[in-house]
Structures are given as C-alpha cells and as structure tokens.
Amino acid sequence: MEDPTPFKISRRDLFKVGAASVTTMAVPTLAGAQGASGAPGAAGSRLTSTTTLNVNGRIHELDLDLRTSLLDALRDHLNLTGTKKGCDHGQCGACTVIVNGRRINSCLTLAVMQQGAEITTIEGLGTPDTLHPMQAAFIKHDGYQCGYCTPGQICSAVAVLGEINDGVPSHVSADLMAQPLLSAEEIRERMSGNLCRCAAYPNIIDAITEVAGSNA
C-alpha cells in the first residue's frame, strides 16, 4: 500500500528548522536593543530629565536617566557613598535612607519619584565632630564589625524610633494602645529588614535601646 504521507521530515531536521526560525525571529529584537543603546537621538535612546532632589537639607538639580534609582543618584551623582549598594533588590537594607521621616530602600525607588521629598542619608544625620546619638550609641556598643551595613542600620534605627514615638504598630505589637511600643522584640521585628552578615545584632539592639531610653 502506498504511504499516504506526501512529505516526511526527520526529528533532526525538525529541530534544525525550529532553531533557524527562532534565530530569524530574534534578529529584529537584537537590532532594536542595539538601537536603544546607540548614540543620543537614535530611536529608543535613553530619556533624561532634570531632577531636583532635597538631600540633607541641600537642593541638587541633576540631569538623570529616568530609570536611575535613588541609590545610584546618591552614590554616582552626588558622591554620597555612605549609602551602600548591597543586594540592589531591596532585601538587605544596606541602602536604607530616610524620606519624609520614613525609611525606604533607596534601590527600589526612582530618583525622579522623590522630587519634593526631604531625603536624609547617613551623611545628613551627623558629622565626625557632632555625631547623631544613634551613631554614638553604635560606636559605644560595637554595633558593627565590617561596617558595610552600618549606614543603613543607623538610618533604619533612627526611623524605627520615630515610628515607635508615632505609635505605628508592627507585626508583633500585642497591644496597639500601649505607649510607647518599645521592647527588644519590637526592635528586632522592626529592624528585621536590615541584615548584618557579621551578626552584630545583639549590640545593635543594645544601641537602639539606649537611645530609645534617652528619648523616653
């Protein structure tokens, strides 16, 4: 009996045809990507904007790519390198800064989104001659070892005490009416977004507790 299938293709040939098709489809995409990274004015080139940032009480006007994170703007454009780039994914807390009194991960927000906000970095909290109480407490209690996470830890700690003073509860707050919401458990929970690979956590808690007590 004659084979009714007029056309036959081997499995090997099928794979070859499929690979060739995928490559052909990818060529326009690659060309577009090259155009996006090409010379200014080319189709798909970067978009920039004049961004005004209020950092540590000073106004800065920066010509930034709209995709620039606040972290990169601080470090690469303002030379405020106290704010550290750790994971760059919002998981370690090394890049924590204070914006309008609340702590944020500066790697997770765009610089253009913070126009008009009051931004405070570790450089704005104190100076070597006039330390912020939290900076002095970290030194006193050895709240650091390698020091890489310390700027983010201190910024976060300062904001934590602000949250507690404002009565903002955490996941471990047993009594929302209790004032202030201050305990070692509260501090550990609120600081859990700031990681220390050197494991200086007990000393960090001691430093925060001392400053919290002096502010009570």
130 and 212, same domain (yes or no)? yes
Among 97, 125, 153, residue at a domain's last position: 125
Q: Per the domain annotation, does 39 fall within a domain?
A: no
138 and 164, same domain (yes or no)? yes
Domain count, the chain: 2
Among 83, 107, 125, residue at a domain's last position: 125
- Return the bridge partners of 118, or none: 54
What's the average model confidence in pLDDT over 176-193? 83
Residues 50-96 pLDDT 10s: 999 999 999 999 999 999 999 999 999 999 999 999 999 999 999 99
Q: Per the domain annotation, does 4 fall within a domain?
A: no
216 and 138, same domain (yes or no)? yes
Among 84, 104, 125, residue at a domain's last position: 125
99 and 138, same domain (yes or no)? no
- Entry field: residues in the chain: 216
Q: Transcribe 110-173 into DSSP letters.
A: BGGGGTT-EEE-HHHH--SSS--HHHHHHHHTT--SS-SSHHHHHHHHHHHHHHHHTT---TT-
Residues 106-143 pLDDT 10s: 999 999 999 999 999 999 999 999 999 999 999 999 99
Residue 72 lies in domain: 46-125
Average pLDDT, the chain: 85
152 and 139, same domain (yes or no)? yes
What CATH number is attached to the domain comprising 143? 1.10.150.120
pLDDT bracket for residue 213 (50, 70, 90): confident
Number of neighbouring beta carbons within 10 Å of residue 165: 15
Exposed, middle or buried, 179 (CB in 10 Å: 0-12/13-18/19+)? exposed
107 and 192, same domain (yes or no)? no
Provide the whole-model pTM: 0.77
